[in-house]
Structure 1
Amino acid sequence: MVVAVGRDEERIKESLEEMKGLCRTLGVEVVEWLWQKRAKPDPATYFGKGKLRKLKEIMKFCEADLVVVDDEITPVQSKNVREYLEMEVLDRTQVILEIFARHATSEEGKLQVEMASLLYELPRLVGKGEELSRLGGGIGTRGPGEPLLEVLRRHIKNRISQLRKRLREIEKEREIQRKQRLEKKIPHVSIVGYTNAGKSTLLKSLTESDVYIADKLFATLEPVTRRLRLKSGRLILMSDTVGFIKKLPHTIVSAFRATLEEVKYSDVLVHLVDASDPYAEEKMKASEKVLEEIGADRMPRILAFNKIDLCPRDRIEMLKRKHPEALFISAEKKAGLDHLLEKLEEILSQRDVQETLKIPIEKIGLVYALKDRLEILGEDYRDEYVLVTVKADKEILELLKGKVAS
């Protein structure tokens, strides 16, 4: 059992509720909250002396065996609190890193998590305790008199360098795949939003595909992409993405930046929000901040409030007044998804142009070969050619014209 603690900041209850969800994702239960009113944490123990004594009493009364701090604490603070309470102490960053480590499945995901963990650990080697001050020696060290601290620091730096090299190689592979996708001119739609907003459920419902779903934070770490055919016949690619969260540790942002920035190459974003969440507005702002940080804040997007089946009517009406441009759906119940698809079609078609082409009969197959990427509005067969009226992205039309002319 866990006691969650934090400083009395704005929206402290929201923050601790989120920490409760993070702990639940790890399979542990938060049995009590505690927060303190301090402008700055105590440099030695994070808490003041009185609050630290109270925390020890609470831990004993609740029979808890773990403290999680809704903040990033220093090694000195962690060591002192751990020794005083005589039990394990984790900060917010460590909790999130543990969740990421459990949920990473691909090679890239695992490498990103390892690098984030090492980036977190490296500046914390100093102050780890007397165990790092003893002398090291042996194969791979500079000599028998080298401090173990220096050995560990050099080892971590070397490993980070190896990880960065491999991640750059994976990024190059992704760049090739992205280039191939762009050459095919298949529109790409990314579902973005706060963690646990229902992005994976929406992808599964729209594409009727097998997508992992769990009522946990950060259930999805690697982008999942599926094909979806719109009513017009146009084929699009739709991707689920890693969820956003407030106070996301900078080490994780750094390690996952390449994955997050994949969103920038989408044609449309679907910003999904959990309508039933009492802190939905704040989480929308947090998501917008992440989109701004990765340079995706000016992209065409659709704001969609999900989980309306869990909301009372007056809450839905309130959200509609505040966000008249938004759509309201239930991904799980498949309610309102037709409106979402229509809106996607509308946005994508804004880039389209309509043109009537004169196609030799023997080359009419070239038109049908691109039917996934254009809409055929009419066909008028003549003796030696066909007048085909199509609607498509300008680049697709130029591609078709080039094929016909060759």
Structure 2
Amino acid sequence: MPELLETQNNETETVLLIGVVLRGEEEWKVKDTMDELAQLAESAGAVVAGRFLVRQQKIKAGHYIGTGKAEEISDWIKENRVSMVVFDDDLTPAQGRNLQNVFETRVLDRTQLILDIFAQRAQTKEGCLQVELAQHQYLLPRLRNMWTHLERQKGGIGLRGPGETQLEMDRRRLQDLVRTLKRDLELVRTRRTEQRRGRRRHGWALVSIVGYTNAGKSTLLNRLSGADIYTENQLFATLDPTTRQVELPNHEPMLMTDTVGFIQKLPHHLVDSFKATLEEVVEADLLVHVIDASHPQVETQIEAVHKVLDEIGGLEKPMLYVFNKIDDEKGRNAAKRLARQFQKSVCVSAQTGENIDALFDELADCLKGRKVELKLSVPLSEGKLLSVLQKNASILEQEYEGDRADLLVRVSPQLAAQCRPFSTEEEPENEW
């Protein structure tokens, strides 16, 4: 497993952050991701002792930043008693090993830091499975680095040492674990697919909340549904997806799911590991993209979310942009400016509830094409259908005459197909 941010005596970790600016790269972008790396470190429970921004022509194969700069940073580490170094980019196994030898302290990269936070925040069985898969997939190519104390064992015919044997045994064991985890997650995906089919049969609108981490997604879901999901001003405060029922002003129900937040430089294998969760995004009828309008790099965050959505096949889904945190003056001004760039958008404060009614109206407008209005005359002997209509349709009018119920209902296309034998109209109206 990747190393976690905790010491044996439970003391707080002090970390040094290192980023690299390559020739032709914009320095402000690297500084922005370094700010995010600092937030990640703090979310993991560490204290940032300092930062180094290294400018160089290209990445050095051996030490990533070159031996001279590594020695300079090593002196700083010893003077300031830093317990760990975190790089803003992913390191190869060899680079991590070489840097650790120079610094004489633990060296992590951005992915290891994210994995540590995920491991802390995952609560459900599904979340833990996804985190464990990502950890093992990250660890697999790095096994050799863990067995450097056995390097004296030379291989060769008749001379294969226990170090090589143990390495191969661990590699096979990890590969078996990865296969087992993938099978378990495939069962999760199958179960989620069945749940979505059930929801669609009953006419539920499926809405997924997406957005950059710490944009206010969980706070917004709490505001809309009256739920009490954990929220905190930190990156990846919630990891496990949460689904809640929300009723629109026209009394139409929908199911809204809060998904894992996105960040810049989100590792590809993390996206792959969380496919079971991210499928909620792909299968949704509508995406609600929550944006922290008060953030200084709000445009960059929007681009990062779009990049991940494009990667998982969700960018073409209908999307409502929600510019959050207008209770902040800077956020209010930015939200007004940004909202003009998007056809479907609304400015709100999930924290205070400001303009939430306008968001409800926009949600109803975005989902209006999902319903069909029908006039029905249903025999009372069709008790099963009447029960389904009571649970899953909006009944606008109802009147009972003899052994029949005359109804005006608004239903999903799937339910409309079941009701058409009892329709009193030749063609249903597509309204709402």
TM-score (norm 1): 0.90
| 1:361 to partner: Cα distance | 6.1
SS in 2 for 1:370: helix
Matches of 1:394 and 1:169, distance apart in 2: 29
Counterparts in 2 of 1:365 and 1:108: CA distance versus 1, 3 Å: closer
> Shift in Å at residue 395 of structure 1?
2.3
Q: 1:211 aligns with which of 219, 229, 249?
A: 229
Deviates more, 1:279-288 or 1:391-400: 391-400
Instruction: From 58, 62, 69, give the equivalent of 1:51.
Output: 69
Query: Is 1:37 matched with 2:25?
Result: no
**In the alignment, is residue 262 of structure 1 matched against residue 280 of structure 2?**
yes
Listed one character per residue, the Cα deviations across residues 5-62 of structure 1 (whole Å, up to 9, x for unaligned) are 1111430111001101100111112232211122432111111334223323433454
Aligned 8 A contact 2:287 2:318 in 1 = yes
Q: Secondary structure at the match of 1:83?
A: helix
SS at match of 2:197: helix
Distance in 2 between residues matched to 1:153 and 1:368, nearest whole Å = 56
SS in 2 for 1:47: coil
Q: Distance in 2 between matches of 1:371 and 1:59?
A: 68
Q: Identify the match of residue 120 of structure 2 among 92, 97, 102.
A: 102
Structure-to-structure mapping, 1:293-332, within 5 angstroms: 293-312=311-330, 313-323=332-342, 325-332=344-351
Q: Structure 1 pair 371/336, CA: closer, same or farther in 2 (3 Å)?
A: farther
Aligned equivalents of 1:289 and 1:40: distance in 2? 25
Preserved contact between residue 212 and residue 302 of structure 2 (Cα < 8 Å): yes
Matches for 1:240-279 after TM superposition, within 5 Å: 240-279=258-297
Which residue of the other structure, out of 56, 73, 89, is the alignment partner of 2:107?
A: 89
Q: Which moved more, 1:179-188 or 1:388-397?
A: 388-397
CA distance in 2, matches of 1:14, 1:400: 56
Residue 230 of structure 2 aligns to which amino acid in structure 1? Y
For the 8 Å contact 1:25–1:216, the answer to whether it is kept is yes
Distance across 2 between alignment mates of 1:354 and 1:404: 10
Structure 1: which amino acid aligns with 2:20? R
> Where do residues 357-376 of structure 1 align in structure 2 (5 Å cutoff)?
357-360=376-379, 366-367=385-386, 369-371=388-390, 373-376=392-395
CA contact (8 A) 1:132 1:149 kept: no
For structure 1, list consecutive stretches of 5 or more residues without a partner in the other structure.
Answer: 137-141
Q: Which residue of 2 aligns with 1:287?
A: 305
CA distance in 1, matches of 2:92, 2:316: 37
SS of residue matched to 2:229: coil
Unaligned runs of 5+ in 2: 1-13, 155-159, 425-432
Return the offset for 1:386. Answer: 4.9
Q: CA deviation at 1:153?
A: 1.1
1:163 counterpart (181, 184, 188): 181
* CA shift for structure 1 position 371: 4.3
CA distance in structure 1 between the partners assigned to 2:235 and 2:162 by the alignment: 46
In structure 1, the residue matched to 2:131 is 113
Q: Which shifted more, 3-12 or 269-278?
A: 3-12
- In structure 1, the partner of 2:7 is none
User: What root-mean-square deviation, in Å, do the aligned CA atoms of Structure 1 and Structure 2 show?
Assistant: 2.6
Letter of the structure 1 residue corresponding to residue 335 of structure 2: I
Structure 2 match to 1:4: 17
Give the structure 1 partner of residue 8 of structure 2: none
**In the alignment, is the contact (CA less than 8 A) between 1:133 and 1:149 conserved in 2?**
no
Distance 1:82 1:58, change over 3 A: same
Partner Cα distance (1:327, 1:47) in 2: 45
- 8 Å CA contact 1:187–1:235 kept in 2: the answer is yes
**C-alpha displacement of 1:129:** 5.1
Corresponding residue for residue 139 of structure 1: none
Aligned to 1:338: 357
In structure 2, distance between residues paired with 1:176 and 1:235: 20
For residues 61 and 84 of structure 1, what CA distance do their matches in structure 2 show?
A: 14
| Within-5 A mapping of 1:45-194 | 45-128=63-146, 130-133=148-151, 147-194=165-212
Report SS of the residue matched to 1:322: coil
**Could you tell me how far apart the structure 1 residues matched to 2:169 and 2:39 are?**
37
Any idea what SS the aligned residue of 1:227 has? strand
Question: 1:62–1:155: structure 2 CA closer, same or farther, 3 Å change rule?
Answer: same
Per the alignment, do residues 166 and 315 of structure 1 end up closer, same or farther by CA in structure 2, a change over 3 Å counting?
Answer: closer
Q: 1:129 and 1:354 mapped to 2: Cα distance?
A: 68
**Which SS does the other structure have where 1:160 is aligned?**
helix
2:143 and 2:384 map into 1 onto residues whose CA distance is 65
Q: 1:148 to 1:133 in 2, by over 3 A?
A: farther
Amino acid at match of 1:59: I
Per the alignment, residue 16 of structure 1 pairs with 34
Q: Say if 1:314 and 1:236 are closer, same or farther in 2 by CA, change over 3 A.
A: closer
Say which is worse superposed, 251-260 or 65-74, in terms of deviation. 251-260
Deviation string 1:253-304 (CA, Å, 9 cap, x unpaired) is 2211222122111111101111111111111111111111111111111000
Moved more, 127-136 or 103-112: 127-136
Are the structure 2 counterparts of residues 20 and 367 from structure 1 closer, same or farther at C-alpha, using a change threshold of 3 Å? same
2:61 is matched by which residue type in structure 1?
Answer: P
The residue identity in structure 1 corresponding to 2:396 is L
* Distance apart, 1:103 and its partner CA: 0.9
Matched, 1:221 2:245: no
Contact 1:272/1:305 (8 A) holds in 2: yes
The number of residues matched between the two structures is 400
Rate the CA distance shift 1:60–1:402 in 2: closer, same or farther, 3 A.
farther
Contact 1:75 1:128 in 2 (8 A): no
Aligned counterpart, 1:398: 417
Alpha-carbon distance, 1:402 to partner: 5.5
Percent identity reads: 38
- Residue pair 2:376, 2:423 contacting (<8 A) in 1 also: no
Q: Give yes or no for contact 1:134–1:147 (8 Å, CA) kept in 2.
A: no
Q: Tell me what 2:5 maps to.
A: none
Q: What letter corresponds to residue 235 of structure 1 in structure 2? A: P
The Cα of 1:240 is off from its aligned counterpart by: 0.5
